[in-house]
């Protein structure tokens, strides 16, 4: 793992240690430097989720990625620093009434017997710091874990300050290879939210930015400003200046065409 390349990418300049402070700082910096994005799904590109492919895309080509990629990169970094990291699988609740398959990847980090959930890859709805694996935990009042029988529900607050369930998971370890089929599903199935919507998300200090199809939004506290993207030039400006994503003109043309179809 090229830790120096990763630290340069996220702007981390301290000496890392195997503790909660380092874990928190790295997560916060990654959430502000590497966007959640599923653009390759809409560009017709195959998404590989092995360690080499993730490093190449996110570090050397300075792209973002979806859960298997951004959380996969975080897992590589933490393991290289000596953290004990496991993969857990989650079922999406947001937007669905019926039970969904396990398609979302999250991380569980063990710090001397205390477990934390780390997730920077849920379409931009993420806690940028570790969440203790216990029921009823609040992160700045915006996130909560609730245990229900053998599984946990991960929740956040909506624009009306109500708790909104995002996904559920069991505390059962999986291997990275277990997500290969889920990756294929998310990048190919018409039933997947990743094929239905263009999504980008990133944080900056107290603001969070999201692009969903042709709607760009800026959230600060309870305030949300929304903008409809009307031109390819504006799309390019937002991708570059806000999300740090640089695409060639042909790729922008494809994405803008997809946006217009879904507006």
For the chain, the domains span 3-189
CATH fold label, 3-189: Arylamine N-acetyltransferase fold (3.30.2140)
The number of helix segments (H) and strand segments (E) in the chain equals 9, 12
In the chain the first and final C-alpha atoms are separated, in Å, by 41
Average pLDDT on 232-242 reads 98
Question: For residues 213 and 22, what is the distance between their CA atoms, to the nearest angstrom?
Answer: 35
What integer is the mean pLDDT of 42-63? 97
Tell me what pLDDT residue 231 has: 97
Per-residue confidence band for 157, with pLDDT thresholds at 50, 70 and 90: confident
């Amino acid at each position: 793992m090229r830790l120096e390349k990763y630290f340069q990418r996220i702007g981390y300049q301290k000496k890392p240690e195997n503790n909660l402070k380092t874990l928190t700082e790295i997560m916060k910096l990654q959430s502000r430097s590497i966007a959640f994005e599923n653009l390759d799904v809409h560009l017709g590109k195959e998404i590989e989720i092995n360690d080499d492919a993730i490093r190449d895309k996110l570090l050397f080509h300075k792209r973002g990625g979806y859960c298997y990629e951004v959380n996969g990169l975080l897992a590589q970094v933490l393991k290289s620093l000596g953290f004990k990291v496991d993969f857990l699988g989650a079922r999406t609740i947001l937007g669905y009434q019926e039970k969904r398959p396990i398609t979302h990847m999250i991380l569980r980090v063990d710090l001397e017997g205390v477990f934390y959930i780390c997730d920077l890859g849920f379409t931009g709805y993420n806690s940028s710091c570790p969440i203790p694996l216990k029921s009823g935990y609040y992160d700045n009042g915006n996130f909560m874990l609730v245990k229900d029988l053998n599984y946990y529900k991960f929740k956040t607050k909506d624009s009306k300050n109500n708790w909104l369930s995002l996904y559920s998971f069991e505390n059962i370890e999986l291997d990275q290879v277990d997500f290969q089929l889920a990756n294929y599903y998310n990048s190919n199935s018409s039933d997947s939210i990743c094929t239905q919507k263009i999504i980008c998300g990133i944080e900056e200090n107290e603001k969070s930015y999201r692009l969903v199809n042709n709607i760009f939004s800026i959230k600060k506290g309870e305030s949300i400003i929304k903008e409809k993207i009307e031109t390819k030039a504006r799309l390019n400006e937002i991708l570059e200046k806000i999300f740090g994503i640089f695409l060639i003109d042909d790729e922008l043309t494809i994405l803008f065409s997809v946006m217009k179809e879904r507006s």
